[in-house]
Structures are given as structure tokens and as C-alpha cells.
């Protein structure tokens, strides 16, 4: 019989069917790119038993017409690809996946298999529940990708992020294929154009580009050597190019799952590859604000906050990144990996209790409505009209922070926000307020160890 593969993306179906056909498998897809005649031809092949695999999008599968067609076909299997899309809590939720339990009801005798490359434990449970796979066996392979070297650095310190990206590519990945992820379309366009102006083959990819441009750029990335795709997260699901040598992030992903999935596109051939990321104070503030202002209900927000906390924790870690990543996916690595930035150059942890107390009480005494830059100016006792106008030059916290420089203070604030000791305002002005977590530190009940940021790199 025929295996039916449920797949969420048209581009993905086309790639896989092309590769399968080349390998001699009788594969086809049914989706909206086909005209009525083409679709009918494939349906005929299907009914005649001339197909080994048929790819269908979930919304097409749900149509009564398609279900009738399948009822008249000899079926061997339903394979639900990218099954984490069924998870409401996940980072790729697709409502149409929720309807897939109809397969169980309509075709109880046909075996079903669900597949995903990224799912933490709650997501795995959700896949089993929603797809009605209660009695199914679960196969979990290791999440460890030992050939990927994870590196996470701080931006906003020394040369700009794009300069450091360029240097990273030139020094370590000249003529290699890679993916650069940015948060916004605008930033994607800027970075792609700038890298191209520096002589690299860099192409943009985001949902704002026409489908033809996107398809052309993706095809060049897949088929040519040494092409760099600069993209939003719209790029990548199902991209199966084995020799992607680096994945760079110029922004902070919202969850460890998203980070793992995006970085996992590097080094699928098993050869050494890099996951390289830069993030800074502003990213932390932006993500915290986006979360607080999102329209989600409280339950969703709680889950999203938990996921973001885990991601920020991974960033600010002083121990092995790989151990932390694997722990997140409920897997243990007994020893530090020796192949991540924190293993190769262990960062220092320092007792930041007193500076943290100064920062927190400065936020408190200025009325919990000012942003990082203002608070640092007060701590440094900067001569500033605005500070004088508010009378904050006369506070006890004015000028008490001169033991640290401005960049070091930014590192302290970033980590206080990352760890939830300071919360960002909902209005988006960047005002910081204390939280329940800040009290024990303010009262001196709990010491606070922070990660010492690397010294700024010198410009070349």
C-alpha cells in the first residue's frame, strides 16, 4: 500500500519528493501548487497503487474529499511529520494539526507514526495525547550533536554585532554555507545587503519577500556552494542541507527548543560545525516586553515565560552549554563536553551581591519607572540635567556605583533582568521594577553570583 506523509510546508514536500524520485521511490504530493488536472492524475496513480509515498498538507487531508479518496486506497501507513506542530505550547503550533486525530477514527486499522526533531517532555506528551497515540511505543534518540560547537557571546561591547559576524565568517567559515538568523525582516535585509557588499554570497529570506524570490534564494542555498542565507525564523523547517557549516544568531531565540532546532541545521553531515550567537541587554528587554504584552492567556504566558527563562539561563550560564541543553531535553551528559565556549574558555563567576543591591535600590529609589541607561547614569553620578530635574542627584544611590564601568553595569542589569530580579514595564518604555525575587538579594539574605562578561574584543 501507499504511505501517506502529512507535512506542514509545501516547499518541504517539493524537496522531499524531488529527492525521493531521484532515489527511485514512487513519490508525489497533493497540494495547492497543482492544477486540477495534475491533481487528478496523481489521484489516479494513488488509486491504482502506483505510489509508494504521497505527501499531503494537513488542511488538505482534512477535506472530506481527500478522506474519501484515502478510504478507496490501499494504505500502508500515516506518517505525521514535524509532529511538534500539534503542540499548543510549542514554537511551531499549527491549528490544523489538531484535526489529525481524525485519522485514528476514520482509519483505525492503518498504522500511524509521528515524527519530530525537537520536542521537550511536555511536548512529547502532547503529541501522544492529541494524535491519540496512547498505546504507541516512543523512540527517542539522543539530542546530543557533538560536532556542533555552541558559542554564545554578548553584543553591545566593542565592535558591532555585524562586524563580529563578518569576522567570524571570514576567519572560520570562508566559502562555507551558513544561516544567519535575525529577528526582523528589516534587519535581515540590512545584514544580507551588508554581507553581500563585503563580497560574500549572502541572500535574504523572510515572509515579506515574494514567493518567487524566496524559492530562488532557497534553491541557490541548497544547490550552490558557499551561500549564506540571512533569514527570520520563517526559514529552515525541513531544510535538509547536510553541509551547513554554521548557524549564527544575531538575536535571541524565544526558547531552548527554537534555539536547538535552528542550530541543529548546522553540521548534519557530522563534520565540525558552529552554532554562534550574539545577544545583548536590549534583546533581553525586547523579549521580556514582547512576552508581557502578548495577547496570550495567562496559562500560555506562564509557559512562554518559563521557556524564555530557560533560554536566558542557557545564555548566562557559567557551566557547559551542552550539558544544560541536554538537561533541558531530559538527557544527561555526565561530563562537560569540552567543545562549547564555556568549556573552552570558562567564564568567571563573581559575587555581585553588592552591585546588585545598589542597582536594585537605585531602581526602587527613582520610583521604578526608569530604564537601564538612566539608572546607570545615576549610579555613576553623571552630571545630567534630567537627573537633576528629578532630584535624583541627591539620592543616596547617586554616584555609589563608580567601582564598575558603564559596560559592566549593563552586564549586571542584563543578568538581573534575565534572572527576573528586575521586570520590564508593559508600556515599552523600558522602565524597570523590582520583583519578588529581588527582595532576598536586597535584604542580603542570598548572595548573587553573576557571570563576568568577556572583555570587549578589539576592533580590527
Of the pair 82, 341, the CB lying nearest Zn ion is at: 341
Q: Is 338:396 a contact under the CB 8 Å cutoff?
A: no
10 Å Cβ neighbour count for 219?
A: 13
Q: Is 202:162 a contact under the CB 8 Å cutoff?
A: no
Of the pair 124, 322, the CB lying nearest Zn ion is at: 322
Handedness of CA 159, 165, 166, 169 (dihedral sign): positive
Of the pair 99, 347, the CB lying nearest Zn ion is at: 347
Of the pair 71, 344, the CB lying nearest Zn ion is at: 344
User: What gap in Å lies between CA 264 and CA 144, rounded to an integer?
Assistant: 10
Among candidate residues 425, 188, 421, the one with its CA nearest the CA of residue 291: 425
Smallest separation, CB 148 to Zn ion (Å): 11
List residues binding Zn ion (CB under 5 A): 320, 322, 336-337, 340, 343
Of the pair 111, 346, the CB lying nearest Zn ion is at: 346
Torsion angle of alpha carbons 103, 109, 111, 116, nearest 10°?
A: 20
Smallest separation, CB 340 to Zn ion (Å): 3
Of the pair 130, 151, the CB lying nearest Zn ion is at: 151
Smallest separation, CB 323 to Zn ion (Å): 6
CA angle 315, 320, 321 (to 5 degrees): 40
Of the pair 53, 340, the CB lying nearest Zn ion is at: 340
Smallest separation, CB 151 to Zn ion (Å): 10
Per-position DSSP letters for 233-296, written without gaps between them: TTS-TT---TTEEEEEESS--SSHHHHHHHHTTS-TTSS-EEEEEEE-HHHHHHHHHHHHHS--
Smallest separation, CB 333 to Zn ion (Å): 8
Among candidate residues 273, 232, 269, the one with its CA nearest the CA of residue 249: 232
Smallest separation, CB 392 to Zn ion (Å): 43
Find where cell 543578568 sits: 415
Smallest separation, CB 277 to Zn ion (Å): 15
Smallest separation, CB 321 to Zn ion (Å): 5
Interacting residues of 11 by C-beta distance below 8 A, sequence separation 6+: 215, 218, 238
Of the pair 99, 336, the CB lying nearest Zn ion is at: 336
Beta-sheet pairing, 349-351 with 244-249: unpaired
Amino acid at each position: 500500500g501507499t504511505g501517506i506523509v502529512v507535512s506542514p510546508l509545501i516547499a518541504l514536500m517539493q524537496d522531499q519528493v524531488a529527492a525521493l524520485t531521484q532515489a527511485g521511490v514512487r513519490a508525489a504530493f497533493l497540494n495547492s501548487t497543482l492544477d486540477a488536472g495534475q491533481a487528478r492524475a496523481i489521484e489516479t496513480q494513488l488509486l491504482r497503487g502506483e505510489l509508494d509515498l504521497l505527501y499531503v498538507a494537513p488542511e488538505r487531508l482534512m477535506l472530506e474529499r481527500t478522506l474519501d479518496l484515502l478510504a478507496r486506497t490501499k494504505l500502508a501507513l500515516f506518517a505525521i511529520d514535524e509532529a511538534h506542530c500539534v503542540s499548543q505550547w510549542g514554537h511551531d503550533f499549527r491549528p490544523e494539526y489538531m484535526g489529525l486525530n481524525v485519522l485514528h477514527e476514520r482509519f483505525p486499522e492503518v498504522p500511524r507514526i509521528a515524527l519530530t526533531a525537537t520536542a521537550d517532555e511536555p511536548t512529547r506528551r502532547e503529541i501522544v495525547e492529541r494524535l491519540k497515540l496512547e498505546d504507541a511505543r516512543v523512540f527517542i534518540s539522543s539530542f546530543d550533536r557533538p560536532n556542533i560547537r555552541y558559542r554564545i557571546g554578548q553584543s553591545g561591547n566593542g565592535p558591532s554585532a555585524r562586524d563580529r559576524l563578518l569576522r567570524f565568517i571570514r576567519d572560520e567559515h570562508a566559502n562555507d554555507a551558513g544561516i544567519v538568523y535575525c529577528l526582523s525582516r528589516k534587519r535581515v535585509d540590512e545584514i544580507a545587503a551588508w554581507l553581500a557588499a563585503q563580497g560574500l554570497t549572502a541572500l535574504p529570506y523572510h515572509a515579506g519577500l515574494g514567493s518567487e524570490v524566496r524559492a530562488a534564494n532557497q534553491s541557490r542555498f541548497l544547490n550552490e556552494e558557499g551561500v549564506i542565507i540571512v533569514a527570520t525564523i520563517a526559514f529552515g523547517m525541513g531544510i535538509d542541507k547536510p553541509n551547513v557549516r554554521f548557524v549564527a544568531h544575531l538575536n535571541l531565540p524565544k526558547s531552548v527548543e527554537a534555539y536547538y532546532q535552528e542550530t541543529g541545521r548546522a553540521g548534519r553531515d557530522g563534520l565540525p560545525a558552529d552554532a554562534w550567537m550574539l545577544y545583548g541587554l536590549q534583546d533581553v528587554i525586547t523579549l521580556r516586553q514582547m512576552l508581557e504584552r502578548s495577547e496570550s492567556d495567562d496559562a500560555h504566558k506562564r509557559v512562554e515565560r518559563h521557556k524564555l527563562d530557560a533560554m536566558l539561563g542557557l545564555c548566562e550560564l557559567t557551566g557547559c552549554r551542552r550539558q544544560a541543553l541536554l538537561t533541558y531535553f531530559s538527557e544527561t551528559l555526565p561530563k562537560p563536553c569540552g567543545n562549547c565556549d564555556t568549556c573552552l574558555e570558562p567564564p568567571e563567576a563573581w559575587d555581585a551581591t553588592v552591585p546588585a543591591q545598589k542597582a536594585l535600590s537605585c531602581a526602587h529609589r527613582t520610583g521604578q519607572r526608569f530604564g537601564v541607561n538612566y539608572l546607570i547614569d545615576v549610579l555613576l553620578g553623571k552630571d545630567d540635567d534630567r537627573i537633576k530635574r528629578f532630584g535624583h542627584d541627591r539620592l543616596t544611590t547617586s554616584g555609589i556605583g563608580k567601582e564598575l564601568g558603564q559596560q559592566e553595569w549593563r552586564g549586571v542589569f542584563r543578568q538581573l533582568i534575565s534572572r527576573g530580579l528586575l521586570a520590564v514595564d508593559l508600556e515599552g518604555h523600558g522602565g524597570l521594577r523590582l520583583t519578588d525575587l529581588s527582595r532576598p538579594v536586597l535584604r542580603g539574605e542570598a548572595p548573587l553570583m553573576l557571570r563576568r562578561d568577556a572583555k570587549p574584543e578589539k576592533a580590527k
